[in-house]
Amino acid sequence: MASRFVDRAVIQVAAGDGGNGCASVHREKFKPLGGPDGGNGGSGGDVLLVVDPGVHTLLDFHFRPHAKAGNGKQGQGGHRAGSAGETLELKVPEGTVVLTEGGDVLADLTGPGTTFIAAQGGRGGLGNAALASRARKAPGFALLGEPGESRSLVLELRSVADVGLVGFPSAGKSSLISVLSAARPKIADYPFTTLAPNLGVVTAGETVFTMADVPGLIPGASEGKGLGLDFLRHIERCAVLVHVVDCATYEPGRDPLSDVDALENELARYTPALGGELADRPRVVVLNKVDVPEAAELAEMVRTELEARGLPVFEVSTATRQGLRELTFALGAVVEKYRAEQPTPAAERIVLRPQAVDDNGFSVEADPHEPGGFVVRGNRPERWIRQTNFGNDEAVGYLADRLNRLGVEEELARMGAEPGCPVTIGDMTFDWQPSTPGVATYLAGRGTDVRLENTSRVSAAERKEARRVRRDGVPETDDDE
């Protein structure tokens, strides 16, 4: 059974979630409260698309469209960080184009080893050891891990070839590539024998180029009729387009000139997703099957008019191999000229974009759905919301401190926010209550650790007083007599 060729697939990729940080206090003999020692959570794994020369189709994604990377592990006590999630690498063929569901091109993957991050893993949360400071010596909370990125992507395979064979079904494209290269496509005397692109390597002297034989073209292909879009997608990268015309067809209403006009019309109406226009590519016309006497006479009649249009014309026969050598070297010369005209690829540069001094990293605007409410947007505030455990008062207080230091409260006040008005950050909506930096006015237990407060451990002052009583036998009083 022949393998199935798939050149378009829609996949659902989900990166791994970051692991939660750990809230732990070091305990050992004679050191019941040895300070915070909770480790950080591990980062979630990424989903990567990697070009593999051994892969030639998107068939695997057709049957398994869902891909999920590994989650990061949670941090543990004893300053033990959680392990990072396993990165998932998805192998794709060379020439794969990654698009959004709306059709925007995200990446054009050419060259072995080329990598694209399809989904970014979530950050791991910080443990309470990393959150300790002079003001909060023993945090009783840790940050949550961030969820990994999840999205839908469209993968389309566009063949990487120098020469594309364009023609009606059964025009002889498969026969032509079979005699010019080592490719062995299926050949039969019925339309649409070729359902998948075939690539062949052709040698013309010192020039080596690739040739693509793609599904046949019919009028209306640029609108999706027949296999048109599947056909046109695979010639976007071609440097030269070869019109293969059947001069021995017996179909009514068809002749070489009308075939070329129909092909040119479809090429002009198709807009490549990778940019450029197919109408700007060099053209070569191949009048095929001239081993048939009637076809040879017809080719001789139309040759002059085609050359008057500025098109190079070659009369060939794949059966007798007439004209194939001249065609091969002519295509090699056109490919070499096209390659020489292409600009030299610029070396990849590292671009640094420093943040503006007046950019605070967030914006505050009126809530269009909640009268009197406000919406805070920005990467940092929204990330902090995702990292906060709202079941822990101290964690909520830490979030309020961070937002206050960033300037969110000041901006809300400037925008006219009143105490108690709804404020939305990310997926969380809460009633805003202004506070002073570092001081809790609306939360109980902010910046404290109950385990450190509720302890029966004897203090140094109490031990000193006990020694004095044992020595003097009289407890100290506050009387002024």
Are 239 and 338 in contact, with CB atoms under 8 Å apart?
Answer: yes
User: Is residue 221 a known part of a binding site?
Assistant: no
Write the secondary structure of 196-238 as one string of H (helix), E (strand) and C (coil): CCEEEEEEECCEEEEEEECCCCCCCHHHCCCCHHHHHHCCCCC
User: Is residue 435 a known part of a binding site?
Assistant: no
Distance CA 318, CA 443 (A): 86
User: Is residue 195 a known part of a binding site?
Assistant: yes
Of 362, 358, 405, 401, which Cα lies nearest the Cα of 380? 362
User: Is residue 50 a known part of a binding site?
Assistant: no
User: Is residue 376 a known part of a binding site?
Assistant: no
Of 126, 115, 110, which Cα lies nearest the Cα of 46? 115
Of 328, 266, 322, which Cα lies nearest the Cα of 299? 322
User: Is residue 170 a known part of a binding site?
Assistant: yes
User: Is residue 216 a known part of a binding site?
Assistant: yes
User: Is residue 319 a known part of a binding site?
Assistant: yes
User: Is residue 168 a known part of a binding site?
Assistant: yes
User: Is residue 290 a known part of a binding site?
Assistant: yes
Task: Write out the two tokens for 292.
Answer: 């048939």
Angstrom CA distances, 67 to 7, 13, 33, 72, stand at: 18, 5, 45, 16
User: Is residue 358 a known part of a binding site?
Assistant: no
Distance CA 232, CA 224 (A): 10
User: Is residue 214 a known part of a binding site?
Assistant: yes
User: Is residue 167 a known part of a binding site?
Assistant: yes
User: Is residue 194 a known part of a binding site?
Assistant: yes
Torsion region of 185: left, alpha or beta (phi above 0 gives left; psi -120 to 50 gives alpha): beta
User: Is residue 471 packed enough to be buried (19+ CB in 10 Å), middle (13-18) or exposed (0-12)?
Assistant: exposed
Side chain identity at residue 440, one-letter code: A
Count the Cβ atoms, other than its own, within 10 Å of residue 10.
Answer: 13
User: Is residue 196 a known part of a binding site?
Assistant: yes
CA angle 216, 3, 202 (to 5 degrees): 55
Task: Write out the two tokens for 125.
Answer: 């949360």
User: Is residue 193 a known part of a binding site?
Assistant: yes
For residue 22, report the phi and psi dihedrals to the nearest 5 degrees: -110, 135
User: Is residue 289 a known part of a binding site?
Assistant: yes
User: Is residue 390 a known part of a binding site?
Assistant: no
- Annotated binding site: which residue ranges? 167-174, 192-196, 213-216, 288-291, 317-319
- Annotated binding site for Mg(2+): which residue ranges? 174, 194
- Annotated binding site for GTP: which residue ranges? 167-174, 192-196, 213-216, 288-291, 317-319
